[in-house]
Amino acid sequence: MTGRFHGVGVGPGDPELITLKGARLIAAADVVAYHCGPGKESNARRTARDLIPAGAVEERLVYPVTTGTADHPGGYQGALADFYEESAARLAAHLDAGRDVVLLSEGDPLFYGSYMYMHDRLAERYGAEIVPGVPALAAATAAAASPLARQTDVLTVLPGTLPEPELARRLADTDAAVIMKLGRTFPAVRRALEAAGRLEHAVYVERASMEGERRLPVAEVDPDAVPYFSLILVTGDSRNGTRSRNRGAAEPAADTGLPASAEELLVVGLGPGPDRWLTPEVREALAGVDHVVGYGPYVARVPQRPGLIRHASGNTVELDRARLALDLAAKGERVAVVSGGDAGIFGMATAVFEAAEDPRYRDVPVRVLPGVSAVQAVAARAGAPVGGDFAVMSLSDRLKPWDVIERRLRAVADADLALALYNPASRSRTGQIATARRVLLEHRDPDTVVVVGRDVGRDGEDLTVTTLGGLDPAAVDMRCLLIVGASGTRVSPSGRVWTPRWVKP
């Protein structure tokens, strides 16, 4: 018989916050294990020390490194992976010998705890009983004596190790927040709170439930004296009397009844992904607006700053987004509607102009600022496949019938134009690209050059040069843009794809 494996949360630090079940298992354990830093006492052991039986074997699992660097072939992550494997082997030896093992975890075992890495390696072989513990955020909230989330507030738990712009964005997009993993990250976290407009309602709590506990406004914290055992609470919007910052159904600014001059509504293209492809004109425009409206992933690309209110929504409510933006601009608010790529190419510009036909918006001027389009980005990576006459189509049949798409595909193929295909597939549309390939092959040679660009300009970028006959529709997904060459499109010896500007008679 093997021993039993238990992951026991010992809570935030006060021994009286250990659960009765956790205390019982610790007191009966053959082996008590715990993680700690080099030369340091385990905080989990310190919390549970009065419960550990005199005859228990103690396994002290000492991290080889505690910062982001390590003298290891695999770097910091490689050093930790080896450490967890070795630690699991030590505990497995006890379990194989029939000894019950309790692995102590600060707070809760499954909430940012080191226990999880042992669970991944041991639970399938030995089974595991997990005893939840009071998490640090619960103790900190009690210490601050300030309700964190009320009614329909959304609570987000964030690690302070996130990149500062991402942290600011997420803080602006939630009602209430808990920020953990501070220490050296505190200065960047404070700046992110300020950029998100959340600094006023942020409370710093240090050593919650432990000796030396203290709490104070984040704005008053000395950044050079922030220990690891600290976190920040951002109380919910319903308590602070502020409206939600990121809602597709967000209400426009309150109508005061006073006359207001309509502001110019900007519709901007953010480019295909990387910040370096954002034009200076668009960057300047975004720095001057108070509202950003758009599809969630595009809104997320706009850096957060004080005073910026974000209105993110799903992918099929373009007209609702446009009306919201027009309503805001009509009330004198400075607003930008954002699109990926170029806003005028399968983007939000047409939706805005369609919504603006409503007489209510006749006084709202609309200006479109261009962006680098996805077809330009893919073409540049490939060489110059659209260097001659070319067409651009979307294979999405959400706004037009498929028979129209097929008719246009045949017309483009018959005209011998290079063709850029947007939206070749999605989760719900998996057959269109195969049908489009069949239609094009009715007019094009199977050796026609095809470029498949996936996530161009972003992490995981991939560019494939193939042929129409060799194109695998199953390898095309919603992150791809295709360029199907004309009959004259060729591939150079170096692998560059280009289409001549001239056409032989």
Number of structural domains found in the chain: 4
Residue 69's pLDDT band, with cuts at 50, 70 and 90, is low
**What's the rounded Cα separation, in Å, for the pair 46 and 95?**
24
Closest alpha carbon to 302 in 286, 290, 288, 289: 286
Residue 249 has pLDDT above 60, yes or no: no
Residue 241's pLDDT band, with cuts at 50, 70 and 90, is low
Contact by Cβ (8 Å): 459, 495: no
For 195-236, the pLDDT digits (tens) are 888 998 899 999 999 999 999 999 999 999 898 889 999 988
Neighbours of 481 (CB within 10 A): 25
Residue 251's pLDDT band, with cuts at 50, 70 and 90, is very low
Whether 256 is in a domain gets the answer: no
Which one of 106, 134, 162 terminates a domain? Answer: 134
Q: Are residues 227 and 172 in the same domain?
A: yes
For 281-317, the pLDDT digits (tens) are 999 999 999 999 999 889 989 988 888 999 988 777 8
pLDDT at 75: 81
The domain spanning residue 400 has which CATH number?
Answer: 3.30.950.10
Residue 245 has pLDDT above 50, yes or no: no
pLDDT at 422: 96
Residue 500 DSSP class: -
For 410-446, the pLDDT digits (tens) are 999 999 999 999 999 877 677 899 999 999 999 999 9
The SS3 of residue 454 is: strand
Q: Are residues 344 and 278 in the same domain?
A: yes
Residue 165's pLDDT band, with cuts at 50, 70 and 90, is confident
Residue 30 has pLDDT above 80, yes or no: yes
The DSSP-derived string for 69-112 is: --SSTTHHHHHHHHHHHHHHHHHHHHHHTT--EEEEESB-TTSS
Helix axes 348-355, 318-330, angle to 10 degrees: 60
Burial bucket for residue 466 (CB in 10 Å: 0-12, 13-18, 19+): middle
Q: Which domain holds residue 329?
A: 265-369
Whether 51 is in a domain gets the answer: yes
Closest alpha carbon to 293 in 252, 333, 338: 338
**What's the rounded Cα separation, in Å, for the pair 114 and 45?**
14
Q: Are residues 292 and 220 in the same domain?
A: no
Whether 258 is in a domain gets the answer: no
Q: Which stretches does DSSP call E strand in 142-263?
A: 155-159, 176-180, 202-206, 214-217, 230-234
Q: Are residues 344 and 396 in the same domain?
A: no
Looking at every residue in the chain, the average pLDDT score rounds to 91
Residue 243 has pLDDT above 70, yes or no: no
pLDDT at 197: 86
Q: Are residues 80 and 26 in the same domain?
A: yes
Whether 361 is in a domain gets the answer: yes
Whether 250 is in a domain gets the answer: no
Burial bucket for residue 311 (CB in 10 Å: 0-12, 13-18, 19+): buried
Q: Which residues pair with 104 in a beta bridge?
A: 8
Contact by Cβ (8 Å): 166, 258: no
Residue 273 DSSP class: S
Q: Are residues 328 and 394 in the same domain?
A: no
Whether 358 is in a domain gets the answer: yes
Which one of 369, 389, 416 terminates a domain? Answer: 369
Instruction: Say what the pTM is.
Output: 0.69
Residue 253's pLDDT band, with cuts at 50, 70 and 90, is very low
Neighbours of 256 (CB within 10 A): 8
For 440-489, the pLDDT digits (tens) are 999 999 999 999 999 999 888 999 999 999 999 999 998 999 999 999 99
Cα distances from 504 to residues 440, 491, 500, in angstroms, run 22, 18, 10
Burial bucket for residue 390 (CB in 10 Å: 0-12, 13-18, 19+): buried
Task: Find the range with the poorest average confidence among 5-14, 263-272, 366-375, 496-505.
Answer: 496-505
Residue 277 has pLDDT above 60, yes or no: yes
**What's the rounded Cα separation, in Å, for the pair 206 and 393?**
57
Q: Are residues 364 and 461 in the same domain?
A: no
Q: Are residues 356 and 393 in the same domain?
A: no
Phi-psi region of 151 (alpha: psi -120 to 50; beta: other; left: phi over 0): left
| One-letter identity of residue 85 | E
Q: Are residues 229 and 336 in the same domain?
A: no
Q: Looking at residues 132-158, what average pLDDT do you find?
A: 93
Q: Are residues 126 and 157 in the same domain?
A: no
pLDDT at 68: 62
The domain spanning residue 286 has which CATH number?
Answer: 3.40.1010.10
Q: Are residues 74 and 109 in the same domain?
A: yes
Residue 66 has pLDDT above 80, yes or no: no
Q: Are residues 126 and 144 in the same domain?
A: no
Q: What percent of the chain shows pLDDT beyond 70?
A: 94
Whether 360 is in a domain gets the answer: yes
Question: What residues contact residue 427 under an 8 Å CB cut-off, 6+ apart?
Answer: 478
Whether 260 is in a domain gets the answer: no
Q: Looking at residues 345-354, what average pLDDT do you find?
A: 95
Residue 490 has pLDDT above 80, yes or no: yes
Which one of 338, 353, 369 terminates a domain? Answer: 369
**What's the rounded Cα separation, in Å, for the pair 127 and 135?**
23
Residue 247's pLDDT band, with cuts at 50, 70 and 90, is very low
Task: Find the range with the poorest average confidence among 235-244, 396-405, 433-442.
Answer: 235-244
